[in-house]
Amino acid sequence: MPTFCDAPTAELLELPKTQKLSFAGIDSNKEKIKFNAYLGEYMLSTAFVMAATTTLIMALIGTTILAYNNQVYESVNWPEYDDWTSEPNFYQHFNDHKDEFGFKFDYEFRKACEENYKNVESITKQQYIENSPQGKVFIVRDAFSQMVSMVNESGKMFACYMVGDPKLKNKLQNKEWTRLPKIPPCIPII
Amino acid sequence: MYTNNIEGERMDNLTFIKNISERINKYKYIYKLGSSQRYYFRIDQISYSKEWKEGATPHNEEYYVLVEKTLVTLTNHPEKLFNFIEKNFGQLPITFSTPTFIPGKSLYIGLIKEETDTQNIPTIEDYFKIEKENEKKKIIECLKKQLKLNEKDKINFVFIVEENKPAGNLEETSGEAIISNKIYTPFWLKYNEKKRYYLDYINPIKIIDLDKTK
């Protein structure tokens, strides 16, 4: 025989065998349906409030990131790489900058500059845009190697060299370069 | 007459025209240009050789690469460009983008930019009035001096890049320019105490207007 503890009296009570266990204190089916509907509505509204709150938090984070960068962003069509503007220009850059990166052969430099531009999704890469009188310049800089690949609107690379942190800071401060927001795949909320 | 392309396939007149037309159309679309626009094209003759020659760059453990010759043309007729290439370079393999390594000589064809109405470009004299003391002004001064340009000449910059090495108070700057629609030149602004600001690298090339020549 099941026993229940009556807390105030601490007396052990015996329940009659025929007694039903009530559902949230409701016995009739009609009332149960009403209660279920209420419960569903309550859960839905809670889910809605949670979703709205999450959206608001995300929006606040996004706004903070944008505000931090202090810039207004437009949608940017990032050009597909289409090699260098010219071979002499490539060889000039190779001869002038190969030592900065420790390259011996031209194909190594060409490949590194190309991959630096193409692998924009890498966590170490940052994208920038420069509005030059000759048109938009699309820039990718690697935080570790400090290699910068510069490409014009038709996808032609016209420069690849090293930009150190102080120089980068100047370019951003002088608003020569605009940093594009890089939203990490996972934003820590806490 | 045929020209081999870099993969070894034979590239006839029509294939060449198709390739150039595609490049023109892409450029036209990106920069929103009209159909009557003319374009500057560069043709680089590239040589991969086991022997080192003056100006050659090491390509790999065995080969050196050298741009032996560059010609610049102006036209909006791809077939004229094809005829010009055959006349001046024969039937060398052609590539339009990344040069594939093949020993010997090959050609690289690149679209530099569209012809610009010179009315929209300031003269050197005007540049001096409007430009403040910066890299661009130094380049103009040096181009004028080193290429013996006239004050009425007009410099149309294809691009300018401020490199990451200070040259005096300014910075080393590389780029390319078209002067009065007649001369194309790459340049590299450098500085030393003796020479002061100077263009370390210029290679002025006379532009050949294919629509005016037979």
Q: Is residue A155 part of a domain?
A: yes
User: Does residue A114 sit in the same domain as residue A43?
Assistant: no
pLDDT, tens digit, for every residue of A134-143? 889 999 999 9
User: Does residue A51 sit in the same domain as residue A114?
Assistant: no
ipTM surpassing 0.95: no
Note whether B58 and A104 are within 8 A (CB).
yes
Q: Say whether B157 and A88 touch across the interface (CB within 8 A).
A: no
Work out the mean pLDDT of chain A and round it to a whole number: 80
Cα-based angle B70, B72, B76 (whole degrees, multiple of 5): 145
Number of domains in chain A: 2
**Which residues of chain B lie closer than 8 angstroms to A150, CB-CB?**
161
Predicted confidence at residue A190, as pLDDT, reads 56
Q: Is residue A77 part of a domain?
A: no
Predicted confidence at residue A183, as pLDDT, reads 65
> Does A150 or A186 have the greater pLDDT score?
A150
CA dist B130 and B126 (Å) reads: 6
Percent of chain A with pLDDT over 70: 72
User: Does residue A111 sit in the same domain as residue A36?
Assistant: no
pLDDT, tens digit, for every residue of A78-98? 999 999 998 889 999 999 999
DSSP strand pairing (A3-6 vs B155-167): unpaired
Predicted confidence at residue A11, as pLDDT, reads 47
Q: Where are the domains of chain B?
A: 3-114, 118-209
Q: Is residue A76 part of a domain?
A: no
Cα-based angle B79, B83, B88 (whole degrees, multiple of 5): 145
Predicted confidence at residue A98, as pLDDT, reads 93
Of A70, A99, A122, which closes a domain? A70
Of A37, A70, A103, which closes a domain? A70
Of A9, A35, A70, which closes a domain? A70
pLDDT, tens digit, for every residue of B8-66? 445 688 999 999 999 999 999 999 998 889 999 999 999 999 999 999 999 999 999 99
User: Does residue A38 sit in the same domain as residue A94?
Assistant: no
How many Å lie between the alpha carbon of B1 and the closest alpha carbon of chain A? 26
DSSP B84: H
Predicted confidence at residue B34, as pLDDT, reads 87
Point out the residue among A85, A105, A152 whose CB comes nearest to the CB of B110. A85
Q: What's the CATH number where A101 sits? A: 3.10.450.200
Q: Say whether B30 and A154 touch across the interface (CB within 8 A).
A: yes
Q: Residue A101 belongs to what domain range?
A: 87-179
Q: Say whether B161 and A83 touch across the interface (CB within 8 A).
A: no
User: Does residue A115 sit in the same domain as residue A39?
Assistant: no
User: Does residue A53 sit in the same domain as residue A100?
Assistant: no
Q: Is residue A57 part of a domain?
A: yes
Predicted confidence at residue A84, as pLDDT, reads 93
pLDDT, tens digit, for every residue of A11-61? 444 444 444 545 555 566 777 677 777 777 878 888 888 888 888 777 766
Q: Say whether A92 and B67 touch across the interface (CB within 8 A).
A: no
Single-letter code of the amino acid located at B171 = E
Q: Say whether A87 and B108 touch across the interface (CB within 8 A).
A: yes
Predicted confidence at residue A10, as pLDDT, reads 44
- For A13, A79, B64, the CA distances from B96, given in Å and listed in that order, are 94, 17, 21
pLDDT less than 50: residues of chain B: 1-9
CA dist A155 and A137 (Å) reads: 9
Q: What is the pTM of this model?
A: 0.77
> CA quadruple A98, A101, A103, A108: dihedral positive or negative?
negative
User: Does residue A110 sit in the same domain as residue A48?
Assistant: no
Quickly count helices (H) and strands (E) in chain B: 4, 12
